[in-house]
């Protein structure tokens, strides 16, 4: 009896040590992903054209900055799941007041916070495909907004979020930026370059780096954009402006992003995206 008890004691002790080791591993692996500073590369920014500067405020809408960072970019709670994470899209008017253009560009295109932290959720992966003048025009548009509002609380990653990071299920943006750089969508020639560019910076966040499909939130699939090949232009315009697809089905995230962001695309831009996606679908068949 005493012997059996002793063995039971050893077993419990052994399991405790294992649990502690596992917890320590999760902690260190997630700290490595989250903590520490990321260097990044120096940003080159050039002066935008007058037309690009005038268009900056609209780009803040098309590209979703306002949807996530809130009205006037004054901050917004983006994601809150007990034990996973609380993530705010911060008040960018306050961030910009303290940061230089280099820091803002690194946050937008490299996924590195103005304090050097690797960012979460902020879709720098797709914004990494903006050119120098486009990035500078966005920064000017941020700086053009009145500074105000409150600072959002610091972001917090709980134990389940840490397990996700350690297991490689949740990614920080600098690693996503690298993945998107290595996986560019098909270049179909100069005739389709404008549409490819627009899709790269607006659709890749959810439909994947090459538009081959993605999973913008657990359990919600965004399809390969070959599906757009079946849309004629009026149907595609309706989808982009109202979130209603062919057949009038009810969509989830796509409905929100269309109504809130893509409804600010011009007709010419929607046509360019359509041209590219139809050509891409034709070549896939």
Least Å distance, CB 239 to ligand HEC, is 6
Which residue from 186, 234, 193 is spatially nearest to 210, judged by alpha carbons?
A: 186
Q: How far is the CB of 199 from ligand HEC (least distance, A)?
A: 6
The site string for ligand HEC over 184-213 (x = CB under 6 A, - otherwise) reads ---------------x--xx-xxx------
- Exactly one of 155, 176, 200, 208 binds ligand HEC (CB under 6 A); that residue is 155
As a whole number of angstroms, the distance between CA 94 and CA 50 comes to 25
105 binds ligand HEC (CB under 6 A): no
> Do residues 34 and 172 touch, judged by C-beta distance below 8 A?
yes
Indicate the helix (H) or strand (E) that contains 217: strand 214-217
Task: Candidates 12, 220, 233, 284: give the one binding ligand HEC (CB under 6 A).
Answer: 220
SS3 label, residue 129: coil
Q: How far from the centroid of its chain's Cα atoms is residue 145's Cα?
A: 22
Closest CA to 51 of 133, 128, 127: 133
Burial of residue 145 (CB within 10 Å: 0-12, 13-18, 19+) is: middle
Between residue 28 and residue 67, which ones bind ligand HEC under the rule CB under 6 A?
63-65
User: Where do contacts with ligand HEC occur on this chain (CB under 6 A)?
Assistant: 63-65, 68-69, 78, 87, 89-90, 92, 95, 104, 107-108, 113-114, 119-123, 127, 138, 155, 199, 202-203, 205-207, 216, 220, 222-223, 225, 227-228, 239, 245-246, 251-255, 257, 262, 273
């Amino acid at each position: 009896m005493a012997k059996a008890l002793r063995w039971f004691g050893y077993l419990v002790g052994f399991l405790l040590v294992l649990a502690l080791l596992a917890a320590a591993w999760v902690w260190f692996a997630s700290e490595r992903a989250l903590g520490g500073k990321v260097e990044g590369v120096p940003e080159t920014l050039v002066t935008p054209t007058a037309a690009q500067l005038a268009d900056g405020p609209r780009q803040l809408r098309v590209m979703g900055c306002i949807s996530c960072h809130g009205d006037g970019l004054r901050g917004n709670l983006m994601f809150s799941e007990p034990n996973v994470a609380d993530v705010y899209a911060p008040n960018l008017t306050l961030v910009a007041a303290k940061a230089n253009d280099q820091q803002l560009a690194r946050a937008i295109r490299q996924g590195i916070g103005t304090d050097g932290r690797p960012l979460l959720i902020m879709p720098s992966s797709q914004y990494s495909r903006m050119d120098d003048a486009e990035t500078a025009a966005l920064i000017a548009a941020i700086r053009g907004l009145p500074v105000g509002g409150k600072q959002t609380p610091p972001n917090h990653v709980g134990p389940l979020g840490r397990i996700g990071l350690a297991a490689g299920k949740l990614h920080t943006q600098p690693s996503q930026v690298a993945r998107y750089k290595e996986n560019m969508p098909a270049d179909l020639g100069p005739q389709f370059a404008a549409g490819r560019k627009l899709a790269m910076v607006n659709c890749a966040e959810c439909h994947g780096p090459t538009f081959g499909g993605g999973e913008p939130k657990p359990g919600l699939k965004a399809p390969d954009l070959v599906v757009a090949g079946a849309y004629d232009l009026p149907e595609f315009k309706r989808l982009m402006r109202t979130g209603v697809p062919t057949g009038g089905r009810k969509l989830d995230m796509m409905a929100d992003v269309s109504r809130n962001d893509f409804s600010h695309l011009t007709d010419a831009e929607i046509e360019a995206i359509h041209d590219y996606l139809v050509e891409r679908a034709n070549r896939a068949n």
